[in-house]
Amino acid sequence: ESTSLGEIIRSDFPILRQKVNGRDLVYLDNAATSQKPNYVLKALKDYYESSNSNVHRGVHYLSQKATTAYENAREKIADFINASDHTEIVFTRNATEAINLVANSWGDLNLGFGDEILLTVAEHHSAIVPWQIVAKKKGASLKYIGLTAGEVPDIEQLKKALSKKTKLVVTHHVSNTLGSVLPIEDIVIWSHEVGARVLLDACQSVPHMMVDVQKLNVDFLVASSHKMCGPTGIGFLYGKSNLLSSMPPFLGGGEMISDVFQDYSTYAEPPSRFEAGTPAIAEAIGLGAAIEYLSGIGMQRIHDYERELADYLYYSLTSVPNVRVYGPAPSEIIHRAALCSFNVENIHPTDIATILNEEYGVAIRSGHHCAQPLHRYFGVNASARASLYFYNTKEEVDHFIEALRETIKFFSI
């Protein structure tokens, strides 16, 4: 059997060599955050060792070196998602802040009484709560579409729910709980037909597959560095140039201004307009290194390998008696991300995750995965979730499944 991508690549990730309670760590919580390769760790260390300085407007050598590295990171992101211009990339703390930026800037300017924001019931809290806050302020409302019998967001229902009142569609590309992958190009075409804009939450897709914002034609896209081999503390908003240029600032301070007078200021052009204060320079450079690393492997290669892992995980997990997996069965039409949220009859998911960690060194997540509306939709408070990345292997899935069977036996005595 040929050596898998996971087996080839995992030596790049020092953390994966750890033991947990004497057992090899089996890290299956990648939808929460990914691990970091040596290439990224080195980029962070090199920055602080040889380039650290504050960015923009500095005339000395180090400031120019740091500025170049910071702006190069922005260009790498733009290329990675095929944005038409690097000024369409705004650095934020994470995807959550990127969504809040759109809600407080574009939302405040464009939402009014009676307007509707259309979401799926599977959205992450970061894609829901900012819109609840701005909708309350503006007299707008949130409208949700449910799931099909196959447990994917019902896009036919979405199409029917669109109307002249719909000003914005907020949707995930890949669900962090269902593992479902949505047909974004269609959703964008339907949304634009009624004059609605589309904000794509790509947190669980950008790390795992080619995402081309021009092909998808989304108006906004958000993603987080820490889910794609990059450091925490940095994420980004992609916004079409004409939209960003029309938007007022989100946070006020240095860097985002053109001139400051005593009682008013003029603002910089995007992206600086939305980047107040000293940015997370090292983190941006770390994200740029993560993109170089992923691109070096190839997103198609990563995606193909993860599809194998996705099917292997799904069918291994659904073969365990009394396990209920949420989300669609993989098929030719519907492919799943390499993550499965599940429950085991009469055993609390946190008990499952605790024993898997304590006795078997397996790291999965338990809880609501910041998707409480979706869990309520299924009539449960919580679930367990195993989520893989390209450095995981089928052997790790086998270890997880064996450990799960033992854990179920333990609780069934």
Q: Which residues participate in catalysis according to the annotation?
A: 370
The yes or no reply on residue 176 touching ligand 7TS (CB under 6 A) is: yes
Site for ligand 7TS contains 229 (CB under 6 A): no
Phi, psi of 289 (to 5 degrees): -70, -40
Window of 124-132, 269-277, 315-323, 376-384 that interacts with ligand 7TS by CB under 6 A: 124-132
2: which residues sit within 8 A by CB, 6+ positions away?
none
Scanning 90-98, 305-313, 372-380, 389-397 for contacts with ligand 7TS by CB under 6 A, the matching segment is 90-98
316 binds ligand 7TS (CB under 6 A): no
Q: Which is nearer to ligand 7TS, 83 or 206 (CB)?
A: 206
Using CB under 6 A as the binding rule, the residues of this chain from 183 to 222 that contact ligand 7TS are 201, 203-204
- Min dist. Cβ of residue 204 to ligand 7TS (A): 5
* Shorter beta-carbon distance to ligand 7TS: residue 58 or 233: 233
Q: How far apart are CA 341 and CA 124, in angstroms?
A: 14
- Number of residues engaging ligand 7TS in binding (CB under 6 A): 18
Q: Label residue 215 left, alpha or beta by phi (over 0 means left) and psi (-120 to 50 means alpha).
A: alpha
User: Out of 30, 100, 126, 316, which residue is the one contacting ligand 7TS (CB under 6 A)?
Assistant: 126
- Whether the Cβ atoms of residue 287 and residue 225 lie closer than 8 Å to each other: yes
User: Counting contacts by CB under 6 A, is residue 94 touching ligand 7TS?
Assistant: yes
Report the chain's terminal Cα–Cα distance, integer Å: 38
Nearest to 200 by CA among 240, 232, 230, 161: 240
Is the CB of 67 or the CB of 153 nearer to ligand 7TS? 153
Q: In the complex, what is the shortest distance from the CB of residue 271 to ligand 7TS, in angstroms, rounded to a whole number?
A: 18
Element (H or E) spanning 378, and its range?
Answer: helix 372-378
Shortest gap between Cβ of 1 and ligand 7TS (angstroms)? 32
Q: Using an 8 Å Cβ cutoff, are 326 and 378 in contact?
A: yes
In sequence order, what E strands does 136-245 have?
141-145, 166-172, 197-201, 220-224, 235-239
Is 96 a binder of ligand 7TS (CB under 6 A)?
A: yes
CA–CA distance, 220 with 238 (Å, rounded to integer): 5
List residues near ligand 7TS by CB under 6 A. 31-32, 94-96, 124, 126-127, 172, 176, 201, 203-204, 224, 226, 235, 369-370
